[in-house]
Structure 1
Amino acid sequence: MEELNSETKKAEPEPKIIGLTGGIGSGKTTVARFIEEFGFPVYYSDDRAKTIVNDNEDLKRTIKELLGEKSYDEKGIYDRKFVAEKVFNDNDLLQELNNIIHPAVRIDFEEWVSKQTKYLVFKETALLFELKLNKQCYKSLLVTAEDNIRIKRVMDRDGKTYREVETIMERQMPEKDKIKLASCIIYNNTNLEDLKLQTERIVFEIE
């Protein structure tokens, strides 16, 4: 009887997924960059969605059927301004659009995770709690700041008026509700050095 010499290799443990979120002007993207500096991969859901809506032909066709041909310009590029205006005051239409885009992003994310080797991976998304994506994560990390600080940041960054930023914030889940749902919270009210220290402490305390 031939003796078996090889041992079955243990499967590598799947990385723990940490959801990273924050409202407009919170500093979520800055925290994501710090996390990458610390050596952990970050999946930028919003950026990937912008790519997928242009690269996935089935998705493009379905979006055009929902919102019309003008949802893409003459070069076939997704017209974010047109789409945003179309769905801004129509929650049902926005939900239908999300139901088209987010499953495609989910598949893309799963493929990305399968290629990672770190024990932690971070999924950056503005709608972590709204879409209940936190239920698919090991932990959730919320970046938050005082409303007046967030409003000023967006005004300086995007050239929007106080009322325009306030209107956007009113349409997002209230911060107090996000805070209740978050596993970890980073308060971005002071300076970048403090923000980086908070991020480092929280990231390396995750087990």
Structure 2
Amino acid sequence: MLTKDKNNPSHSPVVKIGVTGGIGAGKSVVCRVFAALGIPVYDADTQAKRLLTEDPALVRQLKAHFGEASYAADGTLNRVYLANEVFKDEEKLVLLNSLVHPRVAVDFNKWLQRHEEAPYVIKEAALIFEAGSYKNLNAVVAVSAPEELRVRRTIIRDEHRNRQQVEEIIRKQLSEEERLSRADYKITNGDKSLVVPQVLRLHKQFSQPSFAAR
């Protein structure tokens, strides 16, 4: 069980479960099952994309560090430009994440206030461990799948990416072994694995009043 930091402003009586996994592992599929069970799900990666255009403070920071070209004249994010800036420059990628993650944390805390009556909530994020947000969660579930399957899924889903690009992304992410060793629970999402029964077992456990007291 992860240890919560009670001195952190994100400390909340709501039970917070993180769901993470490498690209193509299928964490969004798992989260859709939790959502179908009536559990609120905060998609950190989607909300980060929204904040990149809707959060004035974040927009100012990106322009200051990456230039006015980070945004088009209509205010939309110039994703191609920004991706070219950070993808092959580790320092710039770290800088970008250091700007985005705190704003996502603020947004998540506001979202939590609207779901205080839920038995628990889900925070879906690819970088739960890398960003340090696991420190403010009650537990983390890692979604796992064989690497070759993850590559195939991603190529089908993201038509703009080829195999080499997907494999490079996987190399840059936390290793599967490290992610699983740091997580509290695991869901296997391979070709022969049934996700729903695994989610149902965890849902039953997370919904117990005794779980929040652990």
Greater displacement, 89-98 / 68-77: 89-98
- Alignment partners' CA distance in 2, 1:171 and 1:198: 28
Match of 1:176 in 2: 177
**For 2:114, what is the secondary structure of its paired residue?**
coil
Moved over 6 A (4+): none
8 Å Cα contact 2:69/2:78 also seen in 1: yes
Q: How many residue pairs end up in the alignment?
A: 194
- Alignment partners' CA distance in 2, 1:37 and 1:46: 20
**For 1:140, what is the secondary structure of its paired residue?**
strand
**For 1:123, what is the secondary structure of its paired residue?**
strand
1:153-181 C-alpha deviation (Å, 9 max, x unpaired) = 11222233222211110110100000100
Report the Cα offset of residue 33 of structure 1.
0.7
Report the Cα offset of residue 53 of structure 1.
1.3
- Alignment partners' CA distance in 1, 2:110 and 2:158: 33
Q: Please identify the structure whose Cα radius of gyration is greater.
A: 1
Report the Cα offset of residue 36 of structure 1.
0.3
Match of 2:78 in 1: 79
Report the Cα offset of residue 120 of structure 1.
0.6
User: Any stretches of 5+ residues in structure 1 without a counterpart?
Assistant: 1-12
Q: Which letter maps to 1:16? A: V
Q: TM-score, normalised by structure 2?
A: 0.86
Report the Cα offset of residue 200 of structure 1.
1.4
**For 2:74, what is the secondary structure of its paired residue?**
coil
For the aligned residue pairs, the C-alpha RMSD in angstroms reads: 1.4
Match of 1:97 in 2: 96
8 Å Cα contact 2:18/2:122 also seen in 1: yes
Q: TM-score, normalised by structure 1?
A: 0.89
- Alignment partners' CA distance in 2, 1:150 and 1:49: 23
Could you tell me the percent identity over the aligned residues?
Answer: 33
**For 2:123, what is the secondary structure of its paired residue?**
strand
- Does residue 60 in structure 1 map to residue 59 in structure 2? yes
Match of 1:3 in 2: none
Q: Which letter maps to 1:39? A: G
